[in-house]
Structure 1
Amino acid sequence: MDFNVNQEQQQFADALRRWVDKDYAFEKRRSIIHSEAGVSDAAWAGLAELGMTALPLPSSAGGFDGTAVDMLLVMQELGRGLVVEPYFATVFGAKFLTLAGGHEAVLEQVAAGSLKLACALGEHQARHDLFDIATTATGSGNGFVLDGTKTVVMHGAQAGSLIVSARSSGEQRSTDGISLFLVPVDAPGVSIQDNRTIDGQRAATVTLVQVVLGAEALIGQAGQGWEILDAALDYGATLLCAEAVGAMDAIFAATLEYLKTRQQFGAPIGKFQALQHRMADMFIHLEQARSMAMLAAAKVDSDDVAERRRIVSAAKARVNQAATFVGQQAVQLHGGMGVTDELPAAHHFKRLTMIALSLGDIDHHIERFIAQPGFLPLETV
């Protein structure tokens, strides 16, 4: 399989890297994450001007029909630059609308950068099983009434609308009976509590109390939202894999530079063979993660659902392992400096830790991989 990017893709990635270097330098980012809003309207406008908000959306909604491979390059640069703007949350939410069809007017706003989205999918009892839904959607006339609480909604307080999963029928852990809704954050009955996460991003707890929605808020068909939810989750996991690779690229380069300059016993510590071995191990983990992220991007839109699930889960499990290893090794090789707020490596480490726990940890995706058709367990001797 050819994983070489074309000239247009590389130019797009290069433009984003230049923007990050110029307008989103590390000190600028630190000032943003410590601000009350936690995000920057100017930075969001910059991303929209570069075409990032339009890239993954369909041309019918003013987008560029960007593929997951296009997004691979974008997310790598955002990971490398530690960008905390609600870009992932927005394109992740837009994927639900794209998969379901319709909602063109909303997607046009997203493409133009005038609307941010967030995905309210998780609940306190669900952990990584996002089909475990206690939030209810009760039919009322031509619409629905939503009640429930959604937890760890990334950039929920910064969004204009939420993608909300709710149960309109069936048992709490059933994949049948799941409905998806587009909910304005200012709808009566919606309350949002914003918090800053350890990696400098924002997450919210969203409470829904007797939220009345019209039929137009429904995404797809009532009670049949699992296929859309499952496909969108794989897309989101693929984007996180790409972001992790970008963050690992940056933390690996920073660690290598540190080993070249830090002196001990009259020589750079990078000359010590034991540390060279550790850097070699980090490089192997990074390159394996890069290969799996590329494979996931190439296959996430596959019509073969079992293949998509298998490859994305294999990629997310391997990238999670690499993110944990590379991040921890980098912190140790930096010594005490590796955990200081003034050092970018510490922030990359925190972001890698969060990615490894987002949309499925290692155990979750290994179990999901094993559950797919065609997996052959080792024979018991």
Structure 2
Amino acid sequence: MTEVVDRQDLVHSLRDFFKRECGTREQRRALSSDGSVTHNQELYAKLADLGWLGCAIPTEYGGGGGSATDACHVVEEAAYSLAPLFGLAVSLVSSTVVERFGTEEQKRDILGGVCRGEVLATAISEPGAGSDPGSMICRAERRGDTYVINGQKTWISCAHIASRIQVLCRTDSSGAKHDGITMIDVPADAEGLEVRPIRTMGGDEVNDVFFTDVTVGADRVIGEPGRAWHQIMRTLNTDRLMCGAVFLGRARRTFDDALEYVSTREQFGRPIGSFQAIRHRIADLATELECCRLLVYSSAAKLDADPGRCVPREASMVKLKVTETAKRMAVEGMQLFGGAGYTLEHDMERHLRESIVSTVYAGTSEIQRDIIGRSYGL
């Protein structure tokens, strides 16, 4: 019971904070430079001061020692509030690999940095290696006590605001394509590293990252050389769970905005929500939203019960169901708003822009369905 009460207190505190800091459109516009900036470092630093960035990081590294469930609540409430904190979920996911496979020195340095407000990025995808990351060719060559990195990464979230980038590089091509890949912690200001933003409908989110003879110490290897792919596979559960929590928050906000609109917008002498066609649509969306909430937090509970357990089926179900629902919620919301939803006066157009891509990144819906199907022996 105490744990439940504590978690309720966490949620109430988060909601109070976000309502105070970005509860109005005017506040959000100021924090995001009128919608063009997706991450406000000043607001992010306030989360760090309150201890929420490190809520799921062990206390010995400066965190709160909380659970995956706690982290889900933090990112869900941030997403619901429309706070410009794009680096939040990305950093929490990136820190998971370090926590599980890093050295004690790396954990103190990197995880401590996250707790203090540093943003992390992880670079996996390449122009020719998206859904098939085993085809990556970005290379790191061992030279004495250093690695020299050359190549390109693409679609890298938060690289433009990160203090360090965890780069997956090919260090050996002699074995299977998923072997011989090594994760290296690279300072974002390393000589020879160039970040070029990719313009998207969602704003400044993703980037191309180029490496030209970027040289770092061999002590920056995270985990075992040549085994990074197997390491990252064991942490994708957290990635997909956090993605689910983000879009659970966004779907909730989209639903609430739509509900408020149909409750107040009048046509033919009464609120449009009182018409059966719309009332039934709201009922369906509310039911889907509740299914998503239960799926996210039941999966988080399984991860908390056994942090080392691999739950690819449940994690992929979360990613698939919640993102598809968030996208549907935004499309339905636009229809319920009518022409008003297409204007910049309301947030519905933003919900659509930012939800439409959710079924693509962090593993497409097609990839998630394939993983789920294979988990049943198919």
Could you say whether these structures have the same fold, taking a TM-score greater than 0.5 normalized by the shorter chain as the test? yes
Q: CA deviation at 1:349?
A: 2.6
Q: How does 1:213-232 map to 2 (within 5 A)?
A: 213-232=216-235
- Following superposition, the deviation at residue 118 of structure 1 comes to 1.2
Does the aligned pair in 1 maintain the 2:153–2:209 contact within 8 Å?
yes
Tell me whether 1:259 sits opposite 2:262 in the alignment: yes
Q: Give 1:24's match in structure 2, choosing from 19, 22, 25.
A: 22
Match of 1:62?
62
Per the alignment, in what secondary structure is the counterpart of residue 278 of structure 1? helix
Work out which of the residue numbers 348, 360, 365 in structure 1 matches 2:363: 360
On the 8 A contact 1:33/1:201 being kept in 2, the answer is no
Aligned CA distance change for structure 1 residues 171 and 357 (closer, same or farther; 3 Å): farther
**CA apart distance, 1:37:** 6.1
Decide whether aligned partners of structure 1 residues 127 and 76 sit closer, same or farther in structure 2, where only a CA change above 3 A counts. Answer: same
Match of 1:87 in 2: 88
The answer for the alignment partner of 2:12 in structure 1 is 14
Q: Deviations over 1:1-28 (max 9, x none)?
A: x9x9612222122212111111123322
Residue 161 of structure 1 and its aligned partner are, at CA, apart by 0.5
Unaligned runs of 5+ in 1: none
Matches within 5 A, 1:37-186: 38-85=38-85, 86-102=87-103, 103=106, 104-113=108-117, 115-170=118-173, 174-186=177-189
Give the TM-score, by structure 1 length. Answer: 0.91
Q: Report SS of the residue matched to 2:26.
A: helix
Aligned-CA RMSD value = 2.2
TM-superposed deviation, 1:100: 0.8
Residues 295, 311 of structure 1: 8 Å contact kept: no
TM-score scaled by length of structure 2? 0.91
Given residue 91 of structure 2, which amino acid in structure 1 is its aligned partner?
T
Residues paired across the two proteins, number: 371
Cα deviation, 1:182-208, whole Å, max 9, x if unaligned, reads 100111110011245423452221101
Identity %: 27
Picking from 342, 347, 352, the partner of 2:350 is 347
Greater mean alpha carbon deviation, residues 259-268 or residues 170-179: 170-179
151-160 vs 337-346, which deviates more? 337-346
Distance, in Å, in 2 between the alignment partners of 1:172 and 1:357 is 30
Q: Secondary structure at the match of 1:194?
A: strand
- Asked whether the equivalents of residues 128 and 359 of structure 1 are also in contact (C-alpha less than 8 Å), the reply is no
How many angstroms apart in 1 are the aligned matches of 2:314 and 2:143? 40
Shift in alpha-carbon separation, 1:58–1:131, aligned structure 2, 3 A = farther
* Amino acid aligned to 1:30: R
Give 2:273's aligned residue: 270
Q: Deviation at 1:227? A: 2.5
For residues 318 and 211 of structure 1, the distance between their equivalents in structure 2, rounded to whole angstroms, comes to: 40
**Aligned partners of 2:77, 2:365: CA distance in 1, in Å?**
24
Mean Cα deviation higher: 162-171 or 328-337: 162-171
Give the C-alpha shift of residue 281 in structure 1.
1.5
Whether the 8 Å contact between 1:163 and 1:181 is mirrored in structure 2 is yes
Question: Quick check: 1:320–1:361 contact (8 Å CA) kept in 2?
Answer: no
Work out the CA distance in 2 between the residues paired with 1:364 and 1:173: 21
Please give the secondary structure, in 2, of the residue aligned with 1:9.
Answer: helix
Uncovered stretches (5+) of structure 2, i.e. residues with no partner: none
Q: Give the Cα–Cα distance (whole angstroms) in 2 for the partners of residues 129 and 10 of structure 1.
A: 41
Structure-2 change in CA distance of 1:304 and 1:106 (3 Å)? closer
Cα distance in 1 for residues equivalent to 2:126 and 2:182: 15
SS in 1 for 2:213: strand
Q: What is the distance in 2 between the residues matched to 1:9 and 1:225?
A: 34
Structure 2 CA distance for partners of 1:335 and 1:145, relative to 1, 3 Å: same
Distance in 1 between residues matched to 2:76 and 2:138, nearest whole Å: 34
Deviations 1:88-119 (A, max 9, x none): 22212211211113202222122122x22111
> Which of 307, 312, 315 is the aligned partner of 2:315?
312
AA at the equivalent of 2:6:
E
The CA deviation at 1:38 is: 5.0
Kept in 2, the 8 Å contact 1:314–1:369? The answer is yes
